[in-house]
Amino acid sequence: MIEEHRLRTLADYEVPRLGEQSVTPPDHRRGRWPSPRQLDAGEVGHLLNTLLEAYDGRRPAAQVRALVAPAVYAGLSGPRLPRPRHRTQTVHTCTPAPDVVEACARVEADGRSFALAARFTRTPTGWRCERFALLRPQQPGQPSRRAA
């Protein structure tokens, strides 16, 4: 038996079927994207882990390019030596301005603890990391070093 198929024009927005939740699409045709909502500590922790994966070399830096400022991207990209896996343990956030979230975290790698500081700013398309610094203890006789 041969079935006949016909194409139809899609509407701009179709009513969802029964059982599906209604979702209002953004009105991007008129340049009105919804403003990104405020980040909570869980989302900041997820972003920090994503950036740490790029820092460790377990994730290509190109995957986080849209999430970070050019200066942070420059610090995450380029040749990397093998690094131990860094994991966030605690994350604390504050909002010094309406469009800014600052975060600090305790990070562990190879049984040692490090401090991580980051600053995120709201852009029309989402949140972007402007500063990312993994603070390591200074070794005697060596200048201090920071990441990205």
What does pTM read for this prediction? 0.68
According to DSSP, the β-strands at 112-123 and 126-135 are antiparallel
Helix, strand, coil percent content, the chain, rounded in steps of 5:
20, 30, 45
List phi, psi (to 5°) of 110: 55, 40
pLDDT along the chain (148 residues), means of 10: 62 56 50 64 91 90 92 85 84 91 92 93 91 79 57
**pLDDT score recorded for residue 64:** 92
Please name every residue paired with 87 in a beta bridge, in sequence order, or none if there are none.
Answer: 108
Q: What is the pLDDT of residue 144?
A: 53
b or e along 16-34 (b: 16 or more beta carbons within 10 Å of the residue's beta carbon)?
Answer: eeeeeeeeeeeeeeeeeee
Alpha-helical (H) ranges within 26-136 are: 41-56, 70-76
Burial of 79 (0-12, 13-18, 19+ CB in 10 A): exposed
Q: How far, CA to CA in Å, does 68 sit from each of 13, 50, 59, 82, 97?
A: 33, 11, 14, 22, 19
Q: What pLDDT score was predicted for residue 22?
A: 47
**Sheet containing 100-109: which strands, arranged edge to edge?**
87-97, 100-109, 112-123, 126-135
CATH architecture for residues 37-135? Roll (3.10)
What is the model's pLDDT at position 14?
Answer: 54
